[in-house]
């Protein structure tokens, strides 16, 4: 049966176009139930015995939720208890249009066989399709379509017998419920149905709170200004009265945030917000509308560190008002920033948050406060009847709303993650908090892996260069199993050198658009945590078939140069190849071979040739203005039995680290130029923007305090200044200055060449750059491999590869995934550092001041690569006299003045008084300031244990 709708539409050129939309209706769409005898279905989803113990429905039944129930109660629907649910096509389409994340979660549930969720295509069934009536809103038409489908199911199921399952409509819309009851349908509100289920308190906790006044868990006092409606916000943004931007809460001060406003091109503005009223219920990463305050009310960012750790009291705002006054800086006009207030929320960016429950002090209370692990997110009020069981657990909570009368947002319990402090639980938390995809690879993804046993075929050999006879070797960190790259160097007959960088040919195994490719594209990068690796591609590829292990034949993509002895490139060529690595070495093993004069085998001679050229290449780069910056990386020695850290030290870099780095950089630059020459509009490149001059303020002030000048006009000027910045008797000064310079840098980003004009990489002083050398662990490199393969005629192209808009969207995801993976790695290091200090008690160590704050100094301990804060004020007692000078910056504590790079001695210990926010506590030992510094603590040497490197 065919329904058609005809209408005319005016075109841009002024003509008239007739449009006919055809809608096919069918009789053969199955109901999906086992009890049905009418539908000629090949397979069924909904069970005959669809029973859940319930006070309301003591008979078998199928649930049919409306759109709003799916949108707001997805956590309930995901619970294993909820089975045999019909998702109508009307509902599925509405959810798809209104929330992409919830649509994805719903699709995942539909694919879980044990959940018995069935999609019924009611919009194409002859008996359930309805036309929209004159004057009827789209929403009312959809509600009616849902009721019609429920009625059809009720009658249809009755044909299988009176004792068969019944259809139950679940809706929270009172009007919809009343109309359903008038039609004699079984209908319940979501809350009353869930509360009717017997012995399932956890499911009740997962109910999202309705956002109406009677459900507010709050006081009667209005604490926040009202948010403007979207219509007024849009008018305000258009007229320039309001600005639209992304809300970024501060980790260090819960009363402060900034709103990042993207301007035209590269221009952007940051608007400062201070005080609860001006933050006005915005949550980190929300898209908000802000109104700028008059210029005379502009403020400078606060130097105070403030965490919200008080008891939850809505009415008592006096304490907060005092904090707000204390943090306001009396600053000159130059330090003031555009300051504003949030007037409305354009798009919420709520997600389930990990954290811990703070049980209410009121006995038998079901209302409790949840503290998120992320300090940028406010505490959340939830209702739960299992507070005592959850008290020591890490749990997930979702926000439902934030009324004007409530100091905190309201939310609901989602699920428990495990015991707080447990290594597995804490790893799960940091992966969830940093949005790292870490679920097992699905069967759909694994189905695209090559069948084992795998070997290189004659067809592969026919289209590749055979380089198996070359003395190729790899040099990597100890324990590395995902070996992306290998090198060779040999002397040619004309006296020049041939140097090859051979990269794993991952794009041979991952073909565009299949499930394996889409999964790798979403993950974007492999994430390396302490003692754990979250692979971007399945282990069969990452640690076996793609890994360039020694003494096995592997497919590679080779970049081969002919160079003279001055490292000038005479010729460059790229080829798909087959290699057989002769050795898989660690950096230390390669260094020993180079230094051992008694060794003169082919591998060692190849390494010496590479090392000699690498030194020349590095010198040439530095002469062009490349920066040599510094950041402390740590290595844990892990107990082989308990897998706890038993030692911690900074990583030592060798000549061989630099040798490999130089050739990887050269390969990346050579490939970048090649793919840009071939694909000027769609090359995937990487750039490092020059920092704005203001970023260098702290660096120039720090150097000035030691009587030195740092020039920041260009990367070359900065590099030269850093090279000569030395202080007699202070050998570590230059390293500290380079660590500080690293903090001034911008983030390097991926971009599409057709969407940008500035390609320059500031840190490398290179006009063009990309990533080609790590395709096992970076998806960007797979795309670059595909572009290069097309450029040399080794593979065919496909539409998305040459679509600059698709490439640009991909780059945005890669940049996000890369940034979150770095944050997750840092969080993992921080957690293992805490485990290390937990077993070591209190240590005394020397360190240097990196930053000076209004009420604290931030100290770097070089021995452990550790940063910590020494606070000089205390909630419990009267603190010392503090005088902060922002110009220095300096902090005078009593009679002693602290400056950046001052040497101090501190005690280091683990403060685990807050189970969730355990932190390294530092206290000042030297210089001795009466009433402030603490005595030196006696330290016991730890017992020696067997260890593994991490």
Residue range 877-897, pLDDT digits in tens: 677 888 988 888 899 988 899
Q: What are the structural domains of the chain?
A: 5-198 (3.40.50.1010), 208-213+220-416 (2.40.50.690), 443-680+771-820 (no CATH), 841-926 (2.40.50.140)
With contact defined as beta carbons under 8 Å apart, do 259 and 243 qualify? yes
Share of the chain above pLDDT 70, in %: 90
Asked if the model's pLDDT at residue 654 lies above 60, the reply is yes
DSSP helix/strand/coil, 198? coil
pLDDT digits (tens, 9 = 90+) for 211-256: 544 444 445 578 899 999 999 999 999 999 999 999 999 988 888 9
Which of these, 854, 874, 851, lies nearest to 923 by C-alpha position?
874
Q: Are strands 256-262 and 243-249 parallel, antiparallel or unpaired?
A: antiparallel
- Give percent helix, percent strand, percent coil of the chain, each to the nearest 5: 30, 25, 40
Spatial distance between the Cα atoms of 61 and 164, rounded to a whole number of angstroms? 8
Check whether 471 has a pLDDT greater than 80: yes
Whether cis (ω within 30° of 0) applies to the bond prior to 889 is yes
Q: Is the pLDDT of residue 836 over 60?
A: yes
What is the pTM (predicted TM-score) of this model? 0.83
pLDDT band (50, 70, 90) for residue 706: confident
686, 770 Cβ separation under 8 angstroms: yes
Residue 266: per-residue pLDDT: 56
Give me the residues paired with residue 851 across strands: 858
Q: Which residue has the higher pLDDT, 362 or 287?
A: 287
Identify whether the C-beta of residue 417 lies closer than 8 Å to the C-beta of residue 370: no
Angstrom distance (rounded) from CA 891 to CA 289: 37
Name the strands in the sheet holding 866-871, side by side, starting at the edge strand that comes first in the sequence: 866-871, 856-861, 843-852, 903-911, 919-926
The answer, yes or no, to whether residue 502 has pLDDT greater than 90, is yes
Q: Given this model, what pLDDT does residue 360 score?
A: 73
- C-alpha distances in angstroms, 781 versus 578, 618, 775, 869? 19, 23, 5, 39
pLDDT in tens, 750-762: 999 999 988 999 9
- State yes or no: pLDDT of 632 exceeds 70: no
Going by C-alpha positions, the residue among 910, 909, 904, 940 that lies closest to residue 924 is 904
Query: What is the per-residue pLDDT for 201?
Result: 72
Pick the more confident residue, 195 or 10. 195
Distance of CA 900 to the CA centre of its chain: 32
Quick one: average pLDDT of 28-52? 86
Q: Name the pLDDT band for 9 (thresholds 50, 70, 90).
A: confident
Segment 169-212, tens digit of pLDDT:
999 999 999 999 999 999 999 999 999 988 777 788 888 876 54
DSSP code, position 681:
T
Average pLDDT, the chain: 87
The per-residue pLDDT for range 513-564, each reduced to its tens digit, is 999 999 999 999 999 998 889 999 999 999 999 999 999 999 999 999 999 9
What is the C-alpha to C-alpha distance for residues 471 and 489, in angstroms, rounded to an integer? 8
Per DSSP (E only), the strands in 814-937 are: 843-852, 856-861, 866-871, 882-885, 890-893, 896-899, 903-911, 919-926
| Mean predicted confidence (pLDDT) in 38-46 | 85
pLDDT at 943: 44
């Amino acid at each position: 049966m065919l329904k058609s709708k005809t209408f005319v539409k005016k075109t841009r050129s002024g003509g008239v176009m007739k449009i006919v939309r055809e809608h096919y209706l069918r009789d053969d769409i199955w109901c999906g139930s086992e009890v049905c005898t009418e539908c000629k279905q090949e397979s069924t989803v909904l069970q005959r015995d669809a029973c859940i113990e319930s006070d309301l429905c003591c008979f078998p039944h199928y649930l049919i939720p409306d759109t709003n129930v799916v949108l707001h109660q997805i956590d309930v629907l995901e619970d294993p208890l909820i089975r045999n649910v019909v998702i109508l096509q009307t509902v599925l389409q509405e959810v798809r249009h209104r929330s992409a994340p919830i649509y994805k979660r719903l699709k995942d549930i539909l694919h879980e066989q044990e959940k018995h969720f069935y999609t019924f295509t009611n919009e194409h069934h002859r008996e359930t399709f309805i036309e929209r009536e004159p004057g009827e809103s789209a929403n009312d038409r959809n509600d009616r379509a849902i009721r019609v489908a429920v009625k059809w199911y009720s009658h249809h199921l009755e044909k299988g017998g009176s004792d068969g399952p019944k259809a139950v409509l679940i809706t929270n819309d009172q009007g919809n419920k009343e109309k359903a009851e008038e039609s004699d349908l079984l209908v319940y509100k979501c809350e009353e149905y869930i509360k009717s289920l017997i012995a399932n308190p956890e499911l009740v906790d997962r109910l999202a709170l309705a956002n109406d006044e009677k459900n507010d868990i709050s006081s009667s006092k209005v604490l926040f200004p009202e948010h403007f409606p979207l219509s007024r916000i849009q008018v305000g943004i258009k007229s320039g009265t309001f600005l639209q931007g992304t809300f970024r809460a501060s980790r260090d001060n819960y009363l402060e945030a900034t709103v990042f406003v993207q301007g035209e091109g590269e221009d952007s503005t940051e608007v400062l917000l201070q005080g609860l009223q001006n933050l006005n219920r915005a949550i980190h990463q929300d898209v908000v509308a802000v109104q700028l305050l008059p210029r005379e009310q502009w403020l400078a960012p606060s130097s105070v560190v403030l965490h919200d750790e008080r008891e939850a009291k809505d009415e008592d705002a006096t304490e907060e008002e005092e904090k707000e006054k204390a943090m306001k800086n009396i600053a000159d006009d130059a330090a003031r920033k555009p300051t504003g207030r949030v007037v409305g929320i354009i798009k919420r960016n709520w997600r389930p948050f990990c954290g811990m429950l703070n049980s209410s002090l009121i006995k038998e209370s079901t209302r409790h406060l949840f503290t998120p692990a992320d300090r940028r997110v406010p505490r959340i009020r939830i209702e739960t009847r299992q507070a005592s069981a959850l008290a020591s657990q890490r749990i997930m909570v979702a926000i439902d709303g934030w009324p004007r009368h409530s100091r905190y947002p309201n939310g609901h319990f989602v699920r428990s993650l495990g015991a707080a402090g447990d290594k597995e639980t804490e790893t799960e938390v940091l992966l969830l908090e940093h949005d790292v995809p870490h679920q097992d690879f699905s069967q759909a993804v694994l189905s695209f892996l090559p069948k084992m046993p795998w070997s290189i075929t004659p067809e592969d050999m026919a289209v590749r260069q055979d380089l198996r006879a070359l003395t190729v070797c790899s040099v990597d960190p100890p324990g590395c199993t995902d070996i992306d790259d290998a090198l060779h160097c040999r002397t040619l007959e004309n006296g020049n050198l041939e140097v090859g960088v051979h990269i794993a040919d991952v794009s041979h195994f991952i073909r565009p658009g299949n499930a394996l490719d889409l999964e790798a594209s979403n993950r974007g990068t492999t994430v390396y945590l302490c003692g754990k690796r979250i692979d971007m591609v399945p282990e069969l590829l990452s640690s076996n078939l793609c890994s360039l292990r020694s003494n096995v034949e592997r497919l590679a993509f080779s970049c081969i140069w002919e160079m003279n002895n001055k490292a000038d490139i005479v010729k460059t060529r790229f080829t798909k190849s087959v290699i057989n690595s002769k050795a898989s070495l660690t950096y230390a093993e390669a260094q020993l071979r180079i230094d051992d004069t008694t060794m003169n085998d082919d591998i060692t001679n190849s390494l010496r040739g590479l090392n000699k050229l690498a030194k020349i290449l590095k010198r040439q780069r530095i002469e062009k203005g490349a920066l040599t910056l510094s950041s402390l990386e740590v290595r844990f020695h892990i107990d082989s039995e308990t897998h706890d850290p038993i030692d911690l030290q900074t990583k030592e870099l060798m000549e061989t680290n630099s040798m490999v780095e130089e050739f990887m950089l050269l390969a990346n630059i050579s490939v970048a130029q090649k793919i840009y020459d071939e694909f000027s509009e769609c090359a995937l490149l990487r750039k490092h923007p020059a920092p704005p001059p203001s970023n260098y303020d702290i660096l120039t002030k720090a150097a000035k305090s030691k009587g030195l000048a740092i020039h920041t006009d260009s990367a070359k000027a900065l590099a030269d200044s850093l090279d000569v910045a030395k202080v007699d008797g202070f050998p570590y000064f230059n390293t500290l200055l380079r660590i500080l310079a690293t903090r001034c840098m911008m983030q390097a980003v991926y971009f599409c060449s057709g969407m940008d004009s500035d390609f320059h990489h500031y840190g490398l002083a290179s006009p063009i750059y990309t990533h080609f050398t790590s395709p096992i662990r970076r998806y960007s490199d797979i795309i670059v491999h595909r572009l290069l393969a097309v450029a040399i005629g080794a593979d065919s192209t496909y539409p998305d590869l040459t679509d600059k808009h698709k490439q640009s969207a991909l780059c945005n995801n890669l940049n996000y995934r890369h940034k979150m993976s770095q944050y997750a790695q840092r969080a993992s290091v921080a957690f293992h550092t805490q485990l290390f200090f937990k077993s070591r008690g209190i240590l005394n160590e020397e360190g240097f001041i990196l930053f000076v704050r209004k009420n604290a100094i931030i100290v770097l301990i070089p021995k452990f690569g550790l940063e910590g804060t020494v606070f000089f004020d205390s909630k419990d007692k009267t603190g010392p006299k503090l005088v902060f000078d922002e110009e220095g910056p300096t902090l005078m504590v009593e009679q002693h003045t602290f400056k950046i790079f001052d040497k101090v001695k501190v005690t280091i210990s683990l403060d685990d008084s807050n189970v969730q926010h355990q932190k390294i506590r530092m206290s000042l030992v030297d210089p001795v300031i009466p009433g402030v510094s603490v005595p030196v603590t006696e330290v016991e040497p730890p017992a020696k244990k067997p260890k593994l490197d991490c």
